[in-house]
Amino acid sequence: MKTVHWLAAASALTVLVAVSAGQAAGPVQVPHSDKKVWMSEGSERDEALKLTPNYEKGKEIYEVCSACHMPEGWGLTDGTFPQIAGQHRTVLIKQLEDIREGNRDNPTMYPFALPSEIGGAQAVADVTEYIAKLPMNPENGVGPGTDLELGKKLYADNCVRCHGQNGEGEAEKYYPRIQGQHYEYLVRQYQWIKEGKRRNANPDMVEQIKNFTDKDTVAVLDYVSRLKPDAKLLGPKGWKNPDFQ
C-alpha cells in the first residue's frame, strides 16, 4: 500500500488549526444537544452493521484516523488518544456514529468522522473492520498501583456484569473492551460519564458509579488498566504497522 501517513497528519493539523482558530472559512460546527442518548433509533449505525466490510478499503480510510490514533491504533500511553486497536467492531461503529450524529461530544475527532472526510455507512463498516483486527498494545499506560485490592473488589462488585471478568466487554451489547486501555484515558472518560458530559453513556453505568469516591475511581481504573487481553490479541512490544511503513 502506498504510504501517505504524513498527508493524513498534515490534514489533521490543518483542520485542527482551522477549528481552533476560527479561520475565515469558518470552523466546523459540532452539533450538540443536552439530550442523553445511549442507543439512538434509526441510526446509520444499523446500516453500517448490516453491510459487508471491505478490509482493504478500511485500511485506506484508516490513514485519516492514524494521525491521532497512531498507525498501530495504540493511541498514546498518556491517554491523550485511546487505544482503539482490537476493540469490538460493534463498539467502534456505535461510537463513531454517535460522534457523527452529535450524540457524543468529541470536537477534536468530529471533523475527521464526517461523511465528507471518510465516507458514508460503507466507509464506517470498512474502517472499523480494519481497526478491530489490529493487534493491541502490550504496554498500555497504567495507574499508580497503590490500591489494587480495593480496585479488584470494586470491579468484581460493579463492573463484571457488563465488562466481563477480564475487561473483555461484550460485542453484541455494545459493551466495550476496556482491558489494555490507557489509564489516563479511562479516568477522563469515567469522569465525563459521571458528570453527564459523555451523553451517550450507558445509563446503567451512570447509576452504578454515581456514589464512587475519588479513591474508588483511582483504585478501580488502576486495576482495569492492568487487565490484559488474551495473548493472541496482542502485538509484539514495539510493533510497527507494516501498512504504514
State pLDDT tens for residues 42-84.
789 999 999 999 999 999 999 999 999 999 999 999 999 999 9
pLDDT at residue number 28: 58
pLDDT digits (tens, 9 = 90+) for 122-136: 999 999 999 999 999
Instruction: Indicate the residue type of 176.
Output: P
187: in domain = yes
Handedness of CA 68, 71, 77, 79 (dihedral sign): positive
In a domain, 238, yes or no: no
Residue 11 has pLDDT above 60, yes or no: no
Same domain for 106 and 168, yes or no, is no
The structural domain count of the chain equals 2
CB 235 within 8 A of CB 137: yes
CA distances from 122 to 54, 127, 128 (A): 8, 9, 10
- 68 and 130 assigned to the same domain: yes
Closest of 224, 218, 232 to residue 82, by C-alpha: 224
In a shared domain, residues 70 and 189: no
What does the alpha-carbon distance between residue 77 and residue 185 come to, in Å, rounded to a whole number?
Answer: 9
Query: Do 121 and 35 share a domain, yes or no?
Result: yes
Residues 60 and 156 in one domain: no
Q: Tell whether 239 is covered by a domain.
A: no
| Whether residue 118 is found in the same domain as residue 161 | no
Which of these three, 77, 109, 137, is where a domain ends? 137
- On whether residue 143 sits in a domain, the answer given is no
Q: In angstroms, what CA-CA distances link 95 with 3, 38, 106, 121, 171?
A: 27, 10, 10, 13, 13
**What is the reported pLDDT for 14?**
39
pLDDT at 16: 41
CATH of the domain at 81: 1.10.760.10
Q: Is the pLDDT of residue 30 over 70?
A: no
pLDDT of residue 38: 74
CA pair distance 41, 52, nearest whole angstrom:
21
In this prediction, residues 112-116 reach a mean pLDDT of 94
Please report whether residue 155 resides in a domain.
yes
Residues 99 and 187 in one domain: no
Which pLDDT score is estimated for 29?
Answer: 63
pLDDT number for residue 126: 98
Q: What mean pLDDT do residues 111-131 have?
A: 96
Q: Are residues 33 and 126 in the same domain?
A: yes
Radius of gyration of the chain measured on its C-alpha atoms: 18
Angle at 127 between CA 125 and CA 128, to 5 degrees: 65
CA gap 127, 121 in Å, rounded: 10
Could you tell me if 157 and 62 lie in one domain?
no
Residue that terminates a domain, selected from 104, 137, 170? 137
Q: Is residue 45 part of a domain?
A: yes
Domain final position from 106, 137, 168: 137
Instruction: Estimate to the nearest angstrom the gap between the alpha carbon of 59 and the chain centroid.
Output: 17
Say if residue 11 is in the same domain as residue 110: yes
The answer to whether residues 154 and 93 belong to one domain is: no
Least confident of 10-24, 30-44, 103-117: 10-24
Residue 244 lies in a domain: no
In a domain, 242, yes or no: no
- What range does the domain containing 107 cover? 5-137
- For residue 161, what pLDDT is reported? 95
Q: How far apart are CA 96 and CA 110, in angstroms?
A: 9
Q: Are 26 and 80 part of one and the same domain? A: yes
Say what the pTM is: 0.87
